[in-house]
Structure 1
Amino acid sequence: MYEAPYPPYDPVDTSGFSYQTVVKRWPVILTGIIDTIYRTNHDLSLSSDPDMSKLGDVSAVDQETRERIEEGKRLIEKLSKLKYEMGRDRPLEAVPDDGEPLVKVYNDELEKLSSQGKGTWFTAPWLYAECYLYRFLRAYFSRTKYWRTFDPFRGQKESTFQASGTAIYQLATTMHELEAEKSALISDPDKLVIIFREMIQMCLWGNATDLSLLTHMSHSDIQDLQTVGKDAQAARKEFILKDDQERVWDHIKTLSPDSRVDFVLDNAGFELFTDFVFADFLVTYTPYVSRVVFHPKIIPWFVSDVTPTDFKQTFASLLSPAFFPSSPTASSKPSPSQQHLHAMVLRWQSYLENGIFALSVPLDTPLGGDVTVGTNGQKNVVVNLEKNGVNEASFWTGPWPYWDMKELAPELWTTLSESGLVIFKGDLNYRKLTGDIKWPVSTPFEIAVGPLAGSFPLLSLRTNKADVAVGVPQAVADELDKKGEKWRVSGKYALVSFIPKGSQA
């Protein structure tokens, strides 16, 4: 296995972002889960006693509901204990054997860290500890009878998505207007590159997308972008500290028409929506890509990451006339932008049905990746090859850097090596690509990803929300530090990092 020449960030450095995460952010996340379970239990009691005459009296509800409520109470007790132990830097416990993947992987690494005196909440390397937290939380739920498929972050993801209606409608109208230019775009790379720059930046900034990133796309608007757009690009460029946009476009232009692009997903909700928009642009308006595959997480992960359920539900939410608070009533006539959104999402659904869009696991994959049996007696979902093994689906929720992918998950490595471009979205994927190592900031990205460099065309789109950063000129980093900018962690700055296939550090 590859070992980086520099250490990871010191988790006990009180000035570091990892320490602040353990002290402040994780306890808040645990409190949120506890509150979610408590509210769910309350709703269960209320649904069994609508007039509230016996609210709180568990004996008044049916047996199944009573058992579910009691399981919820036990989950709250466990989570409260976990929060207490975390705040007091207690040793990490072994992940219970819940029959799901990676138990042995996590526990073997924990045993090694413990032997080195790094097996507590404040001493374990941040990347391992944070991944461990979500896998450990999953074991709480996976070993229950009634909460096994419960995503404690689902409500949070949905409410955040619902707040994005204005931006979503505008982007839908933008894509509608692009339709009129489709023929001209496909035959004119000079026009395509203008739209590509807007699309990739929309996808880059994700949840923090500035509505000015995408303008109207009539013929005259495209011409304006070729002039005015240059100024806008220059203004945004100061916040993109490594910018390989042009290299990415030059690579995309070399792809054959039947090429595939892969998205290693980050957040559900609006960011996933922007991923769909970017994917739609690639397969609908360029002659270079014919298929896009999306890679989710199979357990609730880092609060907002996309699960198969989130992926599938996104289509239903976008097509629901009442999902966004600003939506019209059922009797109202939809606005043009709402009609544009409806038409666009129907196109995406047809792409999903025809294999132009695809999820890397079956759409009906439940949390944990269990096997389900259909009405015809056939098994519909098989993503757990072995409970302690690693496969294409479970790799993304392991505790490791991605640079050992070929050894740890050879089937996944082979799959991605056949892709025309693999896009890694977000901060955690960037941390895993670079190992969350304390690289000198000017280290080339090709060096920081270790043996993964050159395995496949690799694009990382990342807004900075953690300490690790590479490929940034030392003088630029020094100037930002001198100004007191929290450029590594604020989300204000970003990195667009590309490595072509076959490239060696």
Structure 2
Amino acid sequence: SFAYFTIKDRLPQILTRVIDTLHRHKNEFFEEHGEKGVEAEKRAISFLSKLRNELQTDKPVTPLEDELPDAALWNQYLDYQRNLPNGNGEPSWFQSPWLYVECYMYRRIHAALAQNPPIDNFDVFKEGKAQNFFESQEAIIALCTYFQELLKNIKDLDEKQLQEEFFKLLQVSLWGNKCDLSFSAGEDSSQKSSPLQSLENMIPYILVNDMEKAWSLLVNAKKNRKEGSNVRVDIILDNAGFELVSDLVLADFLLSSKLADEVHFHGKSIPWYVSDTTKHDFNWTIKQLGSANHMWMSRCGINWEGNLKKGVWVFRDHMFWTLPHDFSSMSEVAPDLYAELQKSNLLLFKGDLNYRKLTGDRKWECSVPFHQALNKFHPAPLCSLRTLKSDTQVGLKPGQGEQIQASEPEWMVSGKYGVVQFD
């Protein structure tokens, strides 16, 4: 399965790159922290080399030994995996659920640094995320330019025209999800061309297209809004770089078109899945845009900093997003986060990992209803924007999956197809 290929080939590659990144920063650690920095780098590397060896030789998954706040939850989850009635007792790298061991690897990478001050705040994936941002410059300029031109006459657009723009920016945000560094094991995955030119041609590749449903939900929320209450949209972010910019443009559109009064962004509290957005990435991206020497890029960045200052945009991170649990256990494991999401009118879940956690990452029949796969996870109406990069997909018409499978065996993992799936 694709899971096997991921654990066998992609994850060791990612670990090798992480080790290499630490090697390359040795002098920097020395300049900043002296011998202590170099010692910490050596310890982190030996920890990661050991991890790579455990992975490649299918060793049992071991409990976390660090003192980080989520360690107890991880170790409880290991016990849960050990006691699964259909499991084989001791979870190990090749004998356990893909979602679990993949998340576990990223948590161990985090531990390798967190346990080794003074380099404990070093993000081993930061360079790759920055590179993706800079290499996607042309696409970012095209998108910011398009959007700033749109804002000039947004007040004159009728409902039909607004809807068209909403659909456009939703699709840009959907296809922005192709730029995923964990998928390419860190290889270049930047967005080179203008993201707006090819949207028409991409429509046939959206296997489930519920854009209309998301639109009517927002329009009705706006019409039925009570005095003093706000329409709120939450975006559960995926990758930094171009994808994040496409999400920010969508969020700005929601405010500027008055479809929403506030947007809450949810990011990761630790570096995760190579390119996932942390608070640092979020703030860094907006600063980069604000200080760019391109008029429309900097206009976007400056406006967005204003949105954060005014509190109409809020960035939140929560430990739950970097746990191995799927979302159906959120109300139990993180009731505070679940309660927060219940305040929203619409939740937009970006990307493949969120989709896997929404659906429990199971080998569903493709025609199983999305609602069923969510397994009672329903804090608020939700919509998944995801390009397919793993072999879990639900909510297709009967026969639709088989039909594509016949001509394209790799359809579920190539990133070529997408869904805008509403529940």
Same fold (TM over 0.5): yes
Match of 1:350 in 2: 306
Give me the whole-angstrom Cα distance separating, in 2, the residues matched to 1:246 and 1:473.
18
Shift of 1:164: 0.5
Decide which of 385, 388, 413 is 1:489's aligned counterpart. 413
Which letter does structure 1 place at the counterpart of 2:166?
F
Match of 1:435 in 2: 360
Match of 1:291 in 2: 262
Match of 1:417 in 2: 342
Decide which of 259, 268, 271 is 2:243's aligned counterpart. 271
Contact 2:290 2:300 in 1 (8 A): no
Match of 1:22 in 2: 7
User: 5+ unaligned residues in a row in structure 1: which ranges?
Assistant: 1-15, 49-63, 216-228, 322-333, 362-392, 500-505
Which letter does structure 2 place at the counterpart of 1:79?
L
- TM-score, structure 2 length as denominator? 0.91
Are 2:48 and 1:79 aligned?
A: yes
Contact 1:427 1:463 in 2 (8 A): yes
Match of 2:172 in 1: 202
Match of 2:22 in 1: 37
Match of 1:70 in 2: 39
Decide which of 252, 267, 281 is 2:218's aligned counterpart. 252
Give me the whole-angstrom Cα distance separating, in 1, the residues matched to 2:281 and 2:17.
19
User: Counterparts in 2 of 1:127-142, with a 5 A limit?
Assistant: 127-142=99-114
Give me the whole-angstrom Cα distance separating, in 1, the residues matched to 2:138 and 2:77.
45
CA, structure 1 residues 43+149, in 2 after alignment: closer, same or farther (shift >3 Å)?
Answer: closer
Which letter does structure 2 place at the counterpart of 1:248?
A
Give me the whole-angstrom Cα distance separating, in 1, the residues matched to 2:153 and 2:141.
19
3-state SS, counterpart of residue 95 of structure 2: coil
Cα shift readout 1:195-218 (whole Å, capped 9, x = no counterpart)? 111010000011546856536xxx
Are 2:168 and 1:168 aligned?
A: no
Contact 2:177 2:386 in 1 (8 A): no
Q: Highest Rg: 1 or 2?
A: 1
Deviates more, 1:293-302 or 1:36-45: 36-45
Are 2:273 and 1:302 aligned?
A: yes
User: Counterparts in 2 of 1:366-385, with a 5 A limit?
Assistant: none
Match of 1:311 in 2: 282
Contact 1:95 1:135 in 2 (8 A): no
3-state SS, counterpart of residue 26 of structure 2: helix
3-state SS, counterpart of residue 474 of structure 1: coil
Contact 2:391 2:412 in 1 (8 A): yes
Match of 1:238 in 2: 204
Decide which of 377, 385, 401 is 1:452's aligned counterpart. 377
Structure 1 moving runs of 4+ over 2 Å: 42-45, 111-118, 207-215
Contact 2:139 2:194 in 1 (8 A): no
Cα shift readout 1:116-154 (whole Å, capped 9, x = no counterpart)? 434111111111111111112212211122111111101
Report percent identity of matched pairs.
Answer: 38
3-state SS, counterpart of residue 384 of structure 2: strand
User: 5+ unaligned residues in a row in structure 2: which ranges?
Assistant: 179-190
Contact 1:201 1:213 in 2 (8 A): no
- TM-score, structure 1 length as denominator? 0.76
Cα shift readout 1:195-245 (whole Å, capped 9, x = no counterpart)? 111010000011546856536xxxxxxxxxxxxx9xx64x42321111111
Give me the whole-angstrom Cα distance separating, in 2, the residues matched to 1:142 and 1:74.
11
Give me the whole-angstrom Cα distance separating, in 1, the residues matched to 2:411 and 2:349.
20
Contact 1:487 1:493 in 2 (8 A): yes
Shift of 1:308: 0.8
Match of 1:56 in 2: none
Match of 2:188 in 1: none
Cα shift readout 1:431-480 (whole Å, capped 9, x = no counterpart)? 00000011111011011001114x30101000000000001123221111
Give me the whole-angstrom Cα distance separating, in 2, the residues matched to 1:465 and 1:143.
32
Contact 1:95 1:107 in 2 (8 A): yes
Decide which of 324, 328, 333 is 1:408's aligned counterpart. 333
Decide which of 127, 130, 150 is 1:158's aligned counterpart. 130
3-state SS, counterpart of residue 419 of structure 2: strand
Are 2:205 and 1:281 aligned?
A: no
Cα shift readout 1:303-351 (whole Å, capped 9, x = no counterpart)? 1111111111112222334xxxxxxxxxxxx5xxx11111121111111
3-state SS, counterpart of residue 312 of structure 1: helix
CA, structure 1 residues 307+212, in 2 after alignment: closer, same or farther (shift >3 Å)?
Answer: closer
Are 2:32 and 1:107 aligned?
A: no
Are 2:153 and 1:181 aligned?
A: yes
Match of 2:161 in 1: 191
Are 2:62 and 1:93 aligned?
A: yes
Contact 1:198 1:213 in 2 (8 A): no
Give me the whole-angstrom Cα distance separating, in 1, the residues matched to 2:135 and 2:193.
14
Contact 1:293 1:358 in 2 (8 A): yes
Shift of 1:177: 1.0
Root-mean-square deviation over aligned CA pairs: 1.8
Match of 1:399 in 2: 324
User: Counterparts in 2 of 1:475-486, with a 5 A limit?
Assistant: 475-486=399-410
Contact 1:118 1:125 in 2 (8 A): no
Contact 2:389 2:413 in 1 (8 A): yes
Give me the whole-angstrom Cα distance separating, in 2, the residues matched to 1:398 and 1:130.
11
Which letter does structure 2 place at the counterpart of 1:111?
D
Contact 2:387 2:415 in 1 (8 A): yes
Are 2:191 and 1:214 aligned?
A: no
Shift of 1:281: 0.5
Shift of 1:111: 2.9
Give me the whole-angstrom Cα distance separating, in 1, the residues matched to 2:118 and 2:28.
15
Shift of 1:90: 0.8
Give me the whole-angstrom Cα distance separating, in 2, the residues matched to 1:287 and 1:281.
8
3-state SS, counterpart of residue 80 of structure 1: helix
3-state SS, counterpart of residue 93 of structure 2: coil
Which letter does structure 1 place at the counterpart of 2:172?
M
CA, structure 1 residues 191+418, in 2 after alignment: closer, same or farther (shift >3 Å)?
Answer: same
Contact 2:288 2:301 in 1 (8 A): no
Which letter does structure 1 place at the counterpart of 2:174?
L
Contact 2:135 2:192 in 1 (8 A): no
Give me the whole-angstrom Cα distance separating, in 2, the residues matched to 1:179 and 1:197.
16
User: Counterparts in 2 of 1:52-71, with a 5 A limit?
Assistant: 64-71=33-40
3-state SS, counterpart of residue 255 of structure 1: helix
